Amino acid sequence: MSRNILAIDIGSTKICTVIAKVDIEGASILGSGITRSQGLKKGVITNIDQAAKSIKESYHTASRVAGTSPNKAIVSISGAYVKSINSSGIVNIPNKEISLDEINRALQTALYNANIPHEYEVIHILPYKFKVDDQDFIEDPLGMTANRLEAEVHIVTAQKSSIYNLKKAVRQAGIEIENIVLSGYASAIATLNEDDKELGAAVIDMGGSSCNLVIHSGNSIVYDDFLGVGSMHLTNDLSVALHTPLSTAEEIKIYYGNLSEPKNDYIEIPVIGDEDQSHQVSLEIVHQVIYARVEETLMILAKSIEKSGLKDQLGAGVILTGGMTKLGGLRELASALFDNLPVRIAKPKKLAGFFDELNDSTFATVVGLVLYGAGEHTTYEIDSNKRLRTKNDLKFTDTKNSYEEEVLTSKKEDLEILDELTQMHTFEEKRSTLKDKITKFTRWLTQLF
């Protein structure tokens, strides 16, 4: 038994579509498609038709490679759209045993207490801390005996108009949205291991036009933030400072972008507006331009972590991912600016199948979307469809034997239902025959008298 997952990361610089298969062995990549983003700026859709065209092109490429075309997608949403708040909810346990119903009620109570504005729609309700009676730091309250359950949650919302525009662009591409997932949350799923989650970590996805920050502490993310600066800003800065076309500035960033000690060499580059002419520029100037922008970006992100009030809970430090992490010396500079917090650059978790193309920090979000669809999300959450998701949602079991046992049990149940229906049918036939006999007897009596 298996099912297919369609994951679409709608980024500012690229649209990445992945089709994966999920079975009892886990997730494996069937195909992927990558196209340049159009109709988006800093993670926000600015032209629905152009965005739909890019999504459609990426989807068709992935479908051709995969040989299948699922039409319901798990789609990322940029932090530029969202507004988050933390809340808590307390419920009594009538039967003294905590079930999924009580967990759901606790999350819904936390949502009610948050007073979300009417123009905003909930994307995630993520419980990061449970309390059972007077017992704190409960990882999973399901099945516990208690009188009261308290849940502290992180609620992610987005403006209804923004969600509508996102859905419209995806639908114009011929795809329905199955779920909407915050891009930073997806990146955290793809890059954090169990130790990171246990110790607490900040994940920063440094993309083409934006940086998405989430902090994971306890059972889930508890904080998220967005910065509209990315690697494309380095390209723009170089273009302006060196008076050269954007395409040349991009090449300089890729080949010479380094935050370590600058080189004393010179390079020959074309002049903007007249590419037949060229001039020499020092690589020291290239270094200074890139260093200034990256330093400013990291300092703003460091202030955001400080503002969260969760810095002391980041035992695993800061995990950097995304396209900008390809800059040499980034980890060392980040470590210095984040007050010597541990810093590492992470690639997404490896998946089976055609994964080689996606084995890069640039694709952390889309891999996270696949893993989200495969059940590797928070133990409990209410998703964008207002449905309670649990890690037990999947119909697959851990071993082949138990899976076969499930199938046999299911078949046995089906046979029992069929037998009941047959018996009901036989009873109906007998009742109909008896009714006919009574009718004939009544007619015979009428004729007799």
- Distance of CA 432 to CAs 56, 386, 426, 437, 443, Å? 58, 48, 10, 9, 17
Q: How far apart are CA 235 and CA 311, in angstroms?
A: 31
Residues of the chain under the 50 pLDDT cut? 395-430, 441, 444-446, 448-449
Residue in this structure with the two tokens 């580059």, named with its chain if needed = 269
**Whole-structure pTM value:** 0.85
In this prediction, residue 439 carries a pLDDT of 55
What are the backbone angles phi and psi of residue 339, rounded to the nearest 5°? 55, 45
In this prediction, residue 272 carries a pLDDT of 86
Q: How far apart are CA 144 and CA 140, in angstroms?
A: 9
Encoded amino acid at 201, one letter? A
DSSP state of 264: -
Q: How many residues does the chain have?
A: 449
Encoded amino acid at 230, one letter? G
For residue 317 the two structure tokens come to 């430090």
Q: Is 66 exposed, middle or buried (0-12, 13-18, 19+ CB in 10 A)?
A: buried
Residues whose CB falls within 8 Å of the CB of residue 7, separated by 6 or more in sequence, listed in order: 17, 18, 19, 20, 73, 74, 75, 366, 369, 370, 372, 373
Q: How far apart are CA 443 and CA 149, in angstroms?
A: 69
Domains observed in the chain: 82-158 (3.30.1490.110)
For residue 71 the two structure tokens come to 């039409």
For residue 356 the two structure tokens come to 């080689």
Helical H segments across 309-339, by residue range: 330-337
In this prediction, residue 213 carries a pLDDT of 97
Side-chain-facing half-sphere of 409: CA atoms under 13 Å: 6
In this prediction, residue 42 carries a pLDDT of 75
**Which among 76, 64, 10 has a CA at the least distance from the CA of 369?**
76
Q: How far apart are CA 210 and CA 182, in angstroms?
A: 14
In this prediction, residue 436 carries a pLDDT of 59
**Which among 13, 130, 20, 131 has a CA at the least distance from the CA of 74?**
20
CB distance 237 to 286 below 8 Å: no
**Which among 152, 153, 150, 90 has a CA at the least distance from the CA of 122?**
153
CB distance 339 to 268 below 8 Å: no
The CA angle 428-429-430, to the nearest 5 degrees, is 90
For residue 377 the two structure tokens come to 């999300």
Encode pLDDT of 381-437 as tens digits.
999 999 999 986 654 433 333 333 333 344 444 444 444 444 444 444 445 555 555
The neighbouring-strand residues paired with 193 are none
For residue 183 the two structure tokens come to 């891009």
Angular region, 329: left φ>0, alpha ψ -120 to 50, beta rest: left
Encode pLDDT of 285-341 as tens digits.
999 999 999 999 999 999 999 999 999 999 999 999 999 999 999 999 999 999 879
In this prediction, residue 438 carries a pLDDT of 53
